[in-house]
């Protein structure tokens, strides 16, 4: 069984590929082609800690230091991608953004680090902007075959749906936005109120907060 301690240790020691495999083997199986898409070097550095964060949220019943540590790792990877102008593959960005949005919803009800919350909001906005840019490029070539890894790719669409299936609230938001993941991530970032972060009398369960 994959424990919180194990998955955090894998990410902490830089074993992203091993963490990715361990999380997917722990109840989140994917076809080989879909695994390969998310395991690309351009996506894995942010996808692996994002999926690790998602698994920790599923295993925990309240905000934990481990979850916050993983969220900080994911945000740092997004910031590095943005800073180096590495671009973004839609599948990896949507999977990462969905987890960050779920964590942000839970963190807004707990005593999360306000600076990390602000950085998460900025990361979501960047992810949304990059996905929107992919959409615009695809729309400019309506008669061209969708490039592998670009918006419009059927596998990307399937991966977005797969990720959001575990978060009914985000899935409903995607449908309301016409299936546009960039609009959902942008809405999640705009809904955040970092300065209003307070500690409740009793922290809500992660599962309920993420939904």
Q: Are 200 and 110 in contact (CB under 8 A)?
A: yes
- Backbone Cα Rg of the chain: 16
- Rounded-to-integer distance, Cα 40 and Cα 61, Å: 32
Q: Tens place of pLDDT for every residue, the chain, 211 residues?
A: 789 999 999 999 999 999 999 998 887 777 777 788 888 888 899 999 999 998 898 888 767 899 999 999 999 999 998 887 666 777 788 888 888 888 887 876 677 888 998 899 899 888 888 877 776 766 676 555 554 444 445 666 666 656 655 555 555 555 555 556 666 666 666 655 444 333 333 433 433 333 3
Contacts of 71 (CB under 8 A, 6+ apart): 53, 100, 103, 107, 112, 116, 120
Closest CA to 60 of 115, 124, 107, 13: 107
Residues in the chain: 211
Domain count, the chain: 1
Structural domain harbouring 178: 4-210
In the chain, what are the helix, strand and coil shares in percent, each to the nearest 5? 70, 0, 30
């Amino acid at each position: 069984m994959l424990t919180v301690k194990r998955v955090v240790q894998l990410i902490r020691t830089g074993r992203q590929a091993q963490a990715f495999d361990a999380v997917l083997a722990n109840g989140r199986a994917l076809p080989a082609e879909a695994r390969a898409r998310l395991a690309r070097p351009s996506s894995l550095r942010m996808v692996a800690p994002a999926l690790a964060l998602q698994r920790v949220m599923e295993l925990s019943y309240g905000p934990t230091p481990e979850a916050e540590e993983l969220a900080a790792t994911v945000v740092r990877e997004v910031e590095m991608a943005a800073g180096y102008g590495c671009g973004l593959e839609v599948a990896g960005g949507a999977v990462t953004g969905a987890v960050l949005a779920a964590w942000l919803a839970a963190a807004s009800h707990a005593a999360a680090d306000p600076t990390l919350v602000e950085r998460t909001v900025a990361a979501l906005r960047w992810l949304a902007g990059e996905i929107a840019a992919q959409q615009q490029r695809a729309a400019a070539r309506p008669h061209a075959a969708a490039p592998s890894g670009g918006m419009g790719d059927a596998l990307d669409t399937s991966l977005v749906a797969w990720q959001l299936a575990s978060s009914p609230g985000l899935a409903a938001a995607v449908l309301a936005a016409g299936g546009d993941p960039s609009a959902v991530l942008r809405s999640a970032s705009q809904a955040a109120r970092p300065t209003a972060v307070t500690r409740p009398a009793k922290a809500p369960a992660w599962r309920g907060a993420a939904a």
